[in-house]
Structure 1
Amino acid sequence: MIPKATPKPRSIDLSNRARMLVSCPDQPGIVAAVSRFLYEHGANIVQSDQYTMDPEGGLFFIRIEFDLEGLNERRDRLKADFALVAEQFSMKWSITRASRKKRLAIFVSKEDHALLELLWHWQSGDLDAEIAMVISNHNNMRELVEPLGIPYHYIPVTADTKAEAECRQLELVSGQVDVVILARYMQIISPKFIEHFPNRIINIHHSFLPAFVGGKPYAQAYNRGVKIIGATAHYVTEELDGGPIIEQDVQRVSHRDNVDDLKRIGRHIERTVLARAVAWYVEDRVIVHGNKTVVFS
């Protein structure tokens, strides 16, 4: 019997650490008000990042990590008090405990490289999350996943059974996970499924979007004779490959590379891009605005 593998624990004590994400119309006094609020409640700011789209009339974004003794007992009161500050500045905001690991469901088909990268990051402790389950329309990955103590669910999908398969998937993930990761899951997600996870489904698309949307992007790239290929991690929306982009990367190629070469090179880009995007999500570093994101990486 293969022993269960567990991720290495993080060395930093996160039991009293929280993360605050804020977006609001830019105006004077936002940073002062948030900082004063945290100071008056006895919190110590350990990291702060901010960005403004335009100091005059634009939107302002801020991410703050802070430590607060007795956070678990004081969190509800903290949120109730901060709602008054938020109302003053018309803020969209959240406060989350850093110690609460987000639960991931990873969807995968036949290719293993994106899944393996996430598993490696998880085992090394670099992905501070809980992989609640892996769901696949093939049985190929079971021997990779189950020895790690991660539940593996095989749900085959055909044109005739797609709706039934999605219902089964929803039964498994609803109320059980925070985010769904499509690690080269080669099925289109229906609007009904997306409704249950708005801006909580992350896909890796094997092209530098918006170029080469849809199927066989490497063949499209080869036929176009591109000199750079890439990969894009994005949130899934009803528009195919059109959701808010979280992360992208590229690599140079040449006329000597055929379609198989592009696929081989692309796999390395895909795995790193997806791993970065997922890590940033679980660390509350991504704010969605319209069809864009602000990422405090």
Structure 2
Amino acid sequence: MMARQRLNAFASDQPTRKTTMSPQRYVLNFAAPSQRGQVGRLTQILEQHGAYIEQFSVFDDNRCQYFYLRSVFYIENPAFDLSALQNEYHEFVAAQGGEGHIWDANEAVKVLIMVSKTDHCLNTLIAACKLGALNMDIVGIASNHLDLKPIADLHQIPYYHLPVNADTRARQEQQIIDLKTQLDAEFVVLARYMQVLSNATCQVLHKQAINIHHSFLPGFRGAKPYEQAYERGVKLIGATAHFVTPDLDEGPIIEQEVERVDHAYSPEDLLRTGRHSESVVLERALKNVLERRVFINGERTVILR
């Protein structure tokens, strides 16, 4: 009994932290030229507004003298003023000559998915979304073909048929841009959309379009990487998820995966193996993007864990 009383007395003297079943979480990103005191000032801003920091990751790129930071936090004060925090934070970001944002971590990110005829990546993304593995709201599926409309109908996702040929390409790509705006989608995911976007469209979708390429870049670019891999007798194949840029299949890489193969693999075997890698890589890449872990640094990415 005395031991229990002493334990209870000890526990009552310890500082406690109030918790809730599902606190409102926020994600903060910051990127700016490296300077002393950036971490201290940012944590001070969060502390002044009553934030409890759950995650805090930083990276200082000595090569280009640029600093990156990601934090997840929540605030228990019911009188918390998000606008006041955002205003103070953005003033700091501007003073640092950088860029940054604060997102509601509980809010699903709106995404428009582009496809052609193959369904493996689309099925993976829909399943991950329904299981809660991806904090994503698929607001639409658009395609230059009608082959995958039954999948969209099954999952009650709006499907937009945007056929394209050489004569209608400019108009069709404007339809994609208009659709993204209409649906208020933050990102466009090219889930085996087998059309090359024009330079102008790539510029409009800068940092907003993610592609899965059926090759371990930068090798075997173009439409038939598995045939190229077979002819070269490769021992590893893979897939690459990257941001879309005017340079075909050369945008900043987000995620990659390789699979070991050998001389006995036919082009069809390579295709089946590669499709699995494509689905896995695209889901992993999108998870990093949706969780605000990815920063673009020139032709590279920084991904804070």
Shared fold per TM-score greater than 0.5: yes
For structure 2, the 5+ residue unaligned runs are 1-19
1:72 deviation in Å? 10
For 2:22, the equivalent position in structure 1 comes to 13
- 1:43 and 1:72 map into 2 onto residues whose CA distance is 12
Check conservation: 1:17, 1:67, Cα contact below 8 A.
yes
Match status 1:23 vs 2:38: no
Check conservation: 2:203, 2:246, Cα contact below 8 A.
no
For 2:272, the equivalent position in structure 1 comes to 264
For 1:132, the equivalent position in structure 2 comes to 139
Task: Please list, as runs of the form range in 1=range in 2, the aligned pairs for 1:52-201 lying within 5 A after superposition.
Answer: 52-54=60-62, 58-69=65-76, 74-175=81-182, 176-201=184-209
Match of 2:247 among 239, 243, 258: 239
How far does the alpha carbon of each residue in 1:204-262 deviate from its partner, in whole angstroms, 9 at most, with x for none? Answer: 00111111112211111111221111100000000101111100010111011121111
Secondary structure, aligned partner of 2:269: helix
In 2 relative to 1, CA 72–216 (structure 1 residues): closer, same or farther, beyond 3 Å? Answer: farther
- 1:33 and 1:82 map into 2 onto residues whose CA distance is 10
Match of 2:287 among 243, 256, 279: 279
Name the aligned partner's letter for residue 19 of structure 1. Answer: V
Check conservation: 1:17, 1:71, Cα contact below 8 A.
no
Check conservation: 2:256, 2:281, Cα contact below 8 A.
yes
- 2:163 and 2:21 map into 1 onto residues whose CA distance is 41
1:57 deviation in Å? 6.6
Check conservation: 2:136, 2:290, Cα contact below 8 A.
yes
Name the aligned partner's letter for residue 178 of structure 1. Answer: E
In 2 relative to 1, CA 256–198 (structure 1 residues): closer, same or farther, beyond 3 Å? Answer: same
- Under a length normalisation based on structure 1, what TM-score does the superposition of the two structures give? 0.90
In 2 relative to 1, CA 70–98 (structure 1 residues): closer, same or farther, beyond 3 Å? Answer: farther
The answer to which of 161-170 and 33-42 deviates more is: 161-170
Name the aligned partner's letter for residue 13 of structure 1. Answer: S
Match status 1:219 vs 2:227: yes
Report sequence identity in percent: 38
The answer to which of 35-44 and 18-27 deviates more is: 18-27
In 2 relative to 1, CA 71–267 (structure 1 residues): closer, same or farther, beyond 3 Å? Answer: farther
1:197 deviation in Å? 1.8
In 2 relative to 1, CA 145–73 (structure 1 residues): closer, same or farther, beyond 3 Å? Answer: farther
- 1:235 and 1:246 map into 2 onto residues whose CA distance is 7
Secondary structure, aligned partner of 1:198: coil
Match of 1:207 among 188, 206, 215: 215
For structure 1, the 5+ residue unaligned runs are 1-10
Across the aligned residues of Structure 1 and Structure 2, the Cα RMSD in angstroms comes to 2.0
For 1:3, the equivalent position in structure 2 comes to none
The answer to which of 199-208 and 35-44 deviates more is: 35-44
In 2 relative to 1, CA 70–138 (structure 1 residues): closer, same or farther, beyond 3 Å? Answer: farther
Match status 1:291 vs 2:299: yes
Secondary structure, aligned partner of 1:174: helix
In 2 relative to 1, CA 212–47 (structure 1 residues): closer, same or farther, beyond 3 Å? Answer: same
How far does the alpha carbon of each residue in 1:17-65 deviate from its partner, in whole angstroms, 9 at most, with x for none? Answer: 11111112233322111111111111111111111222x9722211001
- 1:34 and 1:214 map into 2 onto residues whose CA distance is 44
Name the aligned partner's letter for residue 47 of structure 1. Answer: Q
For 2:58, the equivalent position in structure 1 comes to 50
1:88 deviation in Å? 4.5
Superposition misfits of 4+ residues, deviation over 6 angstroms: 70-73
